[in-house]
Amino acid sequence: AQTVTQSQPEMSVQEAETVTLSCTYDTSESNYYLFWYKQPPSRQMILVIRQEAYKQQNATENRFSVNFQKAAKSFSLKISDSQLGDTAMYFCAFSYTGTASKLTFGTGTRLQVTL
């Protein structure tokens, strides 16, 4: 079974600075999806970014980018130009490919953006 590990329970960054959240995972599959989800205090889980394992190019969505290292089974999230609205819990998640596969989540990293 796959596992997802987030070793940073809490992080803090100043507004406009850059922060990197770490995630490692374990699987025997060669093709899969990796995700970063954001969960603000309101609890609504929102997809931030997705990476397909067969793609070598790192995914980017505006201020959010990932560093996907398949051999090392590492999947970090970089947030550039941090904003107060980025304050939230961030979860790394894994799913198999194929139709409608469940998500396996890490334990999350609480990010606080300060002035």
Partner 1 sequence: EAGVAQSPRYKIIEKRQSVAFWCNPISGHATLYWYQQILGQGPKLLIQFQNNGVVDDSQLPKDRFSAERLKGVDSTLKIQPAKLEDSAVYLCASSGRLGYEQYFGPGTRLTVT
Residue ranges in contact with partner 1 by CB under 8 A? 4, 33, 42-47, 50, 91, 93, 95, 97-108
Half-sphere exposure of 46 (CA within 13 A, CB side): 13
- Whole-number minimum distance, CB 17 to partner 1, in Å? 26
At position 85, the amino acid (one-letter code) is G
- Whole-number minimum distance, CB 42 to partner 1, in Å? 7
Cβ contact 10:110 at 8 Å: yes
Q: How many CB atoms lie within 10 A of CB 92?
A: 26
What's the DSSP call for residue 85?
G
* Cα gap 23→69, rounded to integer Å: 11
Q: Which is nearer to partner 1, 26 or 81 (CB)?
A: 26
Q: Which is nearer to partner 1, 73 or 94 (CB)?
A: 94
Q: Which is nearer to partner 1, 69 or 101 (CB)?
A: 101
- Whole-number minimum distance, CB 81 to partner 1, in Å? 26
